[in-house]
Amino acid sequence: MKTKLYLTALALIVAVGVAHAQAQNPECMTNLSIFSEHAKVKNYDAAYEPWKMVYETCPQLNNAIYVYGERILKDKIEKASGAEKEGFANDLMGLYDNKLKHFASKTSKGETMVDKAMVKYDNKMADDAEMYKLLGEAFTGDRDNFTNPKALYIYFSSLVDLHNAGQKELQEVFDVYDDVMEKIADENAKLTDRIAQLLPKEDAGTLTSKEKRRLKSYNSYSEAYGKIEGSIDSKLGALADCENLIPLYKKNFDEKRSDIKWVKGAVGRMFNKECTDDPLFKQMVEVQAELDPSADVYVYLGSLKSKSGDTNGAVADFNKALELETDARKKSNIAYKVATIYRRGSKSTARSYAQKAIDANPSNGKAYLLIASLYANSANDCGSTPFEKRAIYWKAADMARQAGRVDPAQRGRANQSAASYAAKAPTKEMIFTAGMAGKTVNFSCWVGGSVKVPNL
């Protein structure tokens, strides 16, 4: 142990000594200043030679070598072609390796592996098999630092293409899908938590300039994760339809029935794809209940009772699920699942559970969108005049906008829904003709509450 500590300390002393020596090199210091100034104004051609000199001579001098070097080499790649382009791409991958070597505190193994893989992808230097292998190693080797939304999509997309080419089994597609979607949910949860802390300050107009930049970054990344999530679902497409799921699970059921991870994934996927009418779903729910009688099981049991007409039993199971779950975010997801079960039946009950989802996690954008759709689908039931009936769409649009605000991952859907609802609300001409500008419309149906008519 003492020997190991000694060697570690010695290596640190040597590294500090080398960095100090490089800092004393006047030519490196001069060229560092020159290429930095050129790179700041995006004059990458002028920055290249002085940057290259510093990179090759004094690689430990300053992290700016790697920050600006990445931009310089990407510019070279974009402008080059053929062998020259591939050469610069290889230089960029080497840069990532050297940054990890000399400035490990500024990067990570996983990030480096992903960055190198994406260079190969962007420059068509790897086929699906190599991309899946490279990104799979990065994901399994350093999952915490695999946060690139585009790379997550490429990882899954390359696997689907390999499956379609007959090179990968469908079960592997589902396993990776679960892992990737869980990763997206985890990363977006971190972002929405940070956003939630800043929104009150934004409303009050007290955000500092630094906080504004942070909020913009959080929103951007969350929105990117939302887009990637949608793209991954689209890529999975018909592979996860009941016609494929049920035969696959029937085939593997006897072999896998003691594997709780497999059972949970199968039951959850069948539930999400509404394959719950098949007897296999009930059979697997019962197995999950034996292996792991967790909160989710009671949601599935409740859904089965709801389908059979046992309303009281279903409600008891749903509430049991909420009682068992102690994690606020998971409780929110459970309440949302229950809300989706009721959305085609009792709208008021669906809203009640959707509100429970929001109470548990105010950043649950899907719950806001569900409530918005419930309002919009009640237009004909919430008014005695055409104007009053259409006024409900203002309320639906407001709820949809809130979904995108608290959870930017849902912003694409939220903006689309809000625009659709707003287009169905009373027009300016209708407001003028009815003499309702600035007045309030009260809803006496299950929706309740009111909405203020816009001023003209």
**Quick one: three-class SS letters along the chain?**
CHHHHHHHHHHHHHHHHHHHHHHCCHHHHHHHHHHHHHHHCCCHHHHHHHHHHHHHHCCCCCCHHHHHHHHHHHHHHHHCCHHHHHHHHHHHHHHHHHHHHHCHHHCCHHHHHHHHHHHHHHCCCCCHHHHHHHHHHHHHHCHHHCCCHHHHHHHHHHHHHHHHCCCCCHHHHHHHHHHHHHHHHHHHHHHHHHHHHHHHHHHHCCCCHHHHHHHHHHHHHHHHHHHHHHHHHHHHHHHHCHHHHHHHHHHHHHHHCCCHHHHHHHHHHHHHCCCCCCHHHHHHHHHHHHHCCCHHHHHHHHHHHHHCCCHHHHHHHHHHHHHHCCCHHHHHHHHHHHHHHHCCCCHHHHHHHHHHHHHHCCCCHHHHHHHHHHHHCCHHHCCCCHHHHHHHHHHHHHHHHHHHHHCHHHHHHHHHHHHHHHHHCCCHHHHHHHCCCCCEEECCCCCCCEEECCCC
Q: Do 128 and 226 sit in the same domain of this protein? A: yes
Q: Do 183 and 231 sit in the same domain of this protein? A: yes
Instruction: Quote the domain boundaries for residue 392.
Output: 363-456
Q: Do 148 and 191 sit in the same domain of this protein? A: yes
pLDDT, tens digit, 9 for 90 and up, residues 19-53: 555 556 899 999 999 999 999 999 999 999 999 99
The answer to whether the CB of 289 falls within 8 A of the CB of 321 is no
Whether the per-residue pLDDT at 269 is higher than 60: the answer is: yes
Pick the more confident residue, 406 or 444.
Answer: 406
Q: Do 425 and 376 sit in the same domain of this protein? A: yes
Has residue 214 been placed in a domain? yes
Which of 218, 238, 258 is the last residue in one of the domains? 238
pLDDT, tens digit, 9 for 90 and up, residues 294-307: 898 998 999 899 88
Which of 200, 222, 238 is the last residue in one of the domains? 238
Q: Which residue has the tokens 């991309």?
A: 131
Q: Do 99 and 13 sit in the same domain of this protein? A: yes
Pull the structure tokens for residue 208.
């500092």
Which of 214, 238, 262 is the last residue in one of the domains? 238
Has residue 283 been placed in a domain? no
Has residue 286 been placed in a domain? no
Has residue 285 been placed in a domain? no
Q: Do 443 and 391 sit in the same domain of this protein? A: yes
Q: Do 99 and 151 sit in the same domain of this protein? A: no
Has residue 341 been placed in a domain? no
* Angle at alpha carbon of residue 330, lines to 328 and 333, rounded to 5°: 110
Has residue 203 been placed in a domain? yes
Has residue 217 been placed in a domain? yes
The answer to whether the CB of 19 falls within 8 A of the CB of 35 is no
Has residue 69 been placed in a domain? yes
Per cent of the chain over pLDDT 90 is: 82
pLDDT of residue 12: 41
Q: Please name the residues in contact with 171: beta carbons below 8 A apart, sequence gap of 6 or more.
A: 248, 252
Q: Do 129 and 93 sit in the same domain of this protein? A: no
pLDDT of residue 21: 53
Per cent of the chain over pLDDT 70 is: 95
pLDDT of residue 22: 57
Count up the domains in the chain and report the number. Answer: 3
pLDDT, tens digit, 9 for 90 and up, residues 276-323: 989 999 999 999 999 988 898 998 999 899 888 898 898 899 999 999
